[in-house]
């Protein structure tokens, strides 16, 4: 409940009005920890091949996605799903495409690190070698003690997880042209086409997008410093994206309830113009294809398909306007900001 | 100036009106003694009210006029007059895209219930714009936002029993 009060010395430099992300009490933020997390996030020692890191599938210039329909792991194995953006992930009440039980970034990272199905970084069984190599790294001999000043046993998986999670929580984007238009008082920050697109996005008679991609994060439920559990619930829908075969049956994979087949989380649309291809399976290549999918009321028929979706008519210029609006959600600065770039380059 | 702009818009095809600027006035019509066309200037001269909302941790302060003040001005029965057949009356709020929601007249009357339903024209001190429309409803006591109609253009009062 008071998680947000543990931000310590860290400053997100948010524009007025935006809430701070929640921070777990046992992993307070600090600039030193975020810095260590950045080195680890991009460290190729993180993979069994020595060629991959978190940053291989979560590339800054693509808003921390990988540009692929199916992520490729260190051993060449394809992931059944498309990599999610890490922008504003600190506000996500649950992580990955369809797992309401996975709520902690510290826990989530162990999946790509150690997971065997699919293999992402493939470190399982190589943990102690990996930690030994960190201990031997000159950069880390400074970074670890600064990040965890009161600890003796510095080079642990738990500290690696905490530092990477802190780095992820620092990746906050609320400074797109649309933000300047909507909340910053700059009426010329976006084009007239984008302004018309905003209206289509916000009309339940037409696009209706805002009904699921809602609020300032254009996502399903969010959590923030001081939010109640109630505000964090919900936000999984079957939107008729695919035929939903294993292992891509959404919430069903966890609950085994037939009514959960095809239900996926509503991801944020921030920076969406740079995160193609789209959807959990990367099956839609462009924003135009996404819009056509919705205009058809969800392209596949499915008994679980949400009744919120309904076919609607769009002219070619309406479609262009909606795309312009979506493009106005790109925070160019974030894509190149040195704070989140690869320190090993 | 507002009225001229509005007339000019009215002459264009409906599709263009839809896609361009928000309409600059609200029609109050139907079973009312006094139909009204209200602009922001008109609302500025009426008793002002304020509502605070929280959306995903972001606070917004809306200002405008209580909806019941608008109904009073249109001569809709209120308080001790809102009884008998008049209680089968409702208000239909319509947005520029055709979206509609309903409130019963009793649900809008402070003599019946302490509700707070605002016809808003500013947010955080600035005139509403873009997808909010020039006017919107704000219904802070509703749990979902679905009746907080944005781009409000028309308020129609309907008496089911005459």
Per residue in B85-97, pLDDT (tens digit) is 999 999 999 999 9
Domain boundary among A133, A148, A172: A172
Q: Are residues A254 and A161 in the same domain?
A: no
How close is the nearest chain A Cα to the Cα of B129, in Å? 9
**Is residue B7 pLDDT above 80, yes or no?**
no
- Can you give the C-alpha Rg of chain B in angstroms? 16
**Is residue A258 pLDDT above 80, yes or no?**
yes
Q: Characterize the bridge pairing of strands B118-123 and B58-66.
A: antiparallel
Per-residue model confidence (pLDDT) at position A91: 97
B20, exposed or middle or buried, with CB in 10 Å at 0-12, 13-18, 19+? middle
User: Does residue A179 belong to the interface with chain B, where contact is any CB pair within 8 Å?
Assistant: no
Cβ count within 10 A of residue A288: 14
Q: Which two tokens stand for residue A256?
A: 């085994």
Q: Are residues A153 and A188 in the same domain?
A: no
Question: Is the CB of A199 less than 8 angstroms away from the CB of B131?
Answer: yes
> E strands within A114-231?
none
Which CATH number characterizes residue A47's domain? 1.10.760.10
Mean pLDDT of A333-345: 96
Per-residue model confidence (pLDDT) at position A7: 53
Q: Are residues A118 and A202 in the same domain?
A: no
Of A196, A204, A216, the CB nearest to B99: A204
Q: Among residues of chain A, what percentage have pLDDT more than 70?
A: 96
How close is the nearest chain B Cα to the Cα of A239, in Å? 20
How close is the nearest chain A Cα to the Cα of B132, in Å? 8
Per-residue model confidence (pLDDT) at position B126: 96
SS3 B51: strand
How close is the nearest chain B Cα to the Cα of A321, in Å? 10
Per-residue model confidence (pLDDT) at position A232: 62
Contacts of B131 in chain A (CB under 8 A): 198-199, 201-203
Q: Are residues A185 and A328 in the same domain?
A: yes
Its CATH class, for the domain covering B25-159, is: alpha beta
Q: Are residues A182 and A324 in the same domain?
A: yes
The strand pairing partners of B26, in sequence order, are B38
How close is the nearest chain B Cα to the Cα of A46, in Å? 35
* Residue of chain A nearest B100, judged by CA positions: A205
8-state DSSP, A312: -
Of B57, B95, B97, the CB nearest to A224: B57
Residue-wise pLDDT for B31-72, tens only, equals 999 999 999 999 999 999 999 999 999 999 999 999 999 999
User: Does residue B58 belong to the interface with chain A, where contact is any CB pair within 8 Å?
Assistant: yes
Q: Which two tokens stand for residue A231?
A: 């505000």
Q: Are residues A121 and A43 in the same domain?
A: yes
Distance from the Cα of residue B56 to its chain's centroid: 24
A252, exposed or middle or buried, with CB in 10 Å at 0-12, 13-18, 19+? buried
SS3 B160: coil
SS3 A179: helix
Q: Are residues A144 and A209 in the same domain?
A: no
How close is the nearest chain A Cα to the Cα of B137, in Å? 15
Residues of B72-96 as b/e, b for ≥16 C-beta within 10 angstroms? bbbebbbeeebeeebbebbbebbbb
Backbone angles phi, psi at A264, to 5 degrees: -120, 160
Q: Which domain holds residue A141?
A: 31-172
Residue-wise pLDDT for A123-170, tens only, equals 999 999 999 999 999 999 999 999 999 899 999 999 999 999 999 999
Contacts of B18 in chain A (CB under 8 A): 199
Q: What span, in angstroms and rounded, lies between the C-alpha atoms of B78 and B154?
A: 20
In a domain, A313, yes or no: yes
Domain boundary among A172, A192, A215: A172
Q: Are residues A70 and A143 in the same domain?
A: yes
* Residue of chain B nearest A214, judged by CA positions: B56
Domain boundary among A116, A141, A172: A172
Q: Which two tokens stand for residue A295?
A: 């205009």
Look at the alpha carbons of A87, A93, A99, A104 in this order and tell me if their dihedral is positive or negative.
positive
Question: Is the CB of A217 less than 8 angstroms away from the CB of B131?
Answer: no
Q: Are residues A199 and A159 in the same domain?
A: no
Q: Are residues A168 and A119 in the same domain?
A: yes
- Could you tell me the pLDDT band of residue B22, with boundaries at 50, 70 and 90? low
In a domain, A8, yes or no: no
Q: What span, in angstroms and rounded, lies between the C-alpha atoms of A84 and A294?
A: 20
Q: Are residues A135 and A198 in the same domain?
A: no
Q: Choose, out of B16, B54, B130, B136, the residue to mutate when testing the contact with A (most A CBs < 10 Å).
A: B130
Domain ranges of chain B: 25-159
Cβ count within 10 A of residue A153: 8
Residue-wise pLDDT for A35-89, tens only, equals 999 999 999 999 999 999 999 999 999 999 999 999 999 999 999 999 999 999 9
User: Does residue B134 belong to the interface with chain A, where contact is any CB pair within 8 Å?
Assistant: no
Judge contact between B36 and B73, C-beta under 8 A: yes
Q: What span, in angstroms and rounded, lies between the C-alpha atoms of A78 and A71?
A: 6
Contacts of A321 in chain B (CB under 8 A): 19
Q: Are residues A196 and A102 in the same domain?
A: no
Query: How many structural domains are present in chain A?
Result: 2
Mean pLDDT of chain B: 88
**Is residue A3 pLDDT above 90, yes or no?**
no
Per-residue model confidence (pLDDT) at position B5: 39
Question: Is the CB of B19 less than 8 angstroms away from the CB of A202?
Answer: no
SS3 A48: coil
In a domain, A84, yes or no: yes
Contacts of A195 in chain B (CB under 8 A): 130
C-alpha distance across the termini of chain A, in Å? 39
User: Does residue A184 belong to the interface with chain B, where contact is any CB pair within 8 Å?
Assistant: no
Question: Is the CB of A185 less than 8 angstroms away from the CB of B126?
Answer: yes
């Amino acid at each position: 409940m008071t998680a947000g009060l543990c931000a310590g010395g860290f400053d997100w430099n948010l524009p007025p009005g935006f809430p701070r992300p929640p921070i777990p009490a046992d992993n307070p933020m600090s600039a030193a920890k975020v810095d260590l997390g950045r080195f680890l996030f991009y460290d190729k020692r993180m993979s069994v091949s020595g060629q991959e890191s978190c940053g291989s599938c979560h590339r800054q210039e693509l808003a921390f996605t990988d540009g692929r329909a199916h992520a490729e792991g260190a051993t060449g194995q394809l992931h059944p799903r498309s990599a999610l953006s890490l922008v504003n992930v600190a506000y996500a009440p649950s992580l990955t495409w369809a797992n309401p039980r996975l709520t902690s970034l510290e826990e989530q990272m162990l999946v790509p690190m150690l997971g065997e199905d699919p293999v992402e970084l493939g470190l399982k069984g190589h943990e102690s070698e990996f930690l030994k190599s960190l201990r031997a790294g000159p950069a880390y001999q400074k970074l670890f003690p600064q990040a965890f000043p009161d600890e003796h046993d510095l080079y642990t998986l738990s500290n690696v997880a905490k530092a990477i999670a802190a780095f992820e929580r620092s990746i906050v984007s609320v400074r797109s042209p649309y933000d300047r238009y909507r909340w910053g008082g700059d009426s010329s920050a976006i084009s007239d086409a984008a302004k018309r697109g905003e209206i289509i996005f916000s009309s339940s008679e037409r696009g209706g997008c805002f009904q699921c991609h809602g609020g300032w994060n254009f996502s399903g439920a969010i959590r923030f410093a001081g939010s109640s559990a109630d505000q964090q619930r919900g936000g999984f829908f079957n939107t008729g994206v695919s035929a939903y075969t294993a292992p891509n049956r959404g919430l069903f994979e966890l609950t085994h309830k037939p009514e959960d087949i095809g239900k996926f989380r509503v991801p944020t649309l921030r920076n969406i113009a740079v995160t193609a291809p789209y959807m959990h399976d990367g099956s839609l290549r462009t924003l135009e294809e996404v819009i056509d999918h919705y205009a058809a009321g969800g392209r596949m028929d499915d008994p679980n398909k949400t009744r919120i979706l309904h076919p609607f008519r769009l002219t070619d210029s309406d479609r262009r306007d909606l795309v312009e609006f979506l493009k106005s959600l790109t925070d160019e600065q974030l894509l190149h900001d040195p704070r989140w770039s690869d320190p090993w380059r | 100036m507002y009225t001229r702009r509005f007339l000019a818009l009215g002459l264009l095809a409906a599709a263009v009106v839809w896609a361009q600027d928000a309409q600059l006035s609200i029609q109050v019509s139907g079973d009312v003694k006094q139909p009204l066309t209200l602009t922001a200037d008109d609302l500025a001269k009426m008793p002002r009210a304020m509502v605070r909302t929280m959306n995903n941790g972001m606070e917004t302060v809306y200002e405008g006029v209580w909806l019941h003040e608008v109904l009073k001005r249109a001569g809709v029965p209120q308080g001790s007059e809102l009884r008998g057949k008049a209680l089968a009356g409702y208000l239909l709020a319509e947005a520029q895209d055709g979206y509609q929601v309903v409130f019963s007249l009793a649900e809008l009357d402070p003599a019946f219930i302490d509700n707070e339903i605002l016809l808003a024209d500013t947010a955080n001190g600035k005139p509403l714009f873009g997808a909010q429309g020039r006017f919107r409803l704000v219904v802070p006591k509703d749990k979902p936002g679905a009746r907080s109609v944005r781009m409000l253009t028309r308020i129609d009062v309907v008496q089911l029993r005459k």
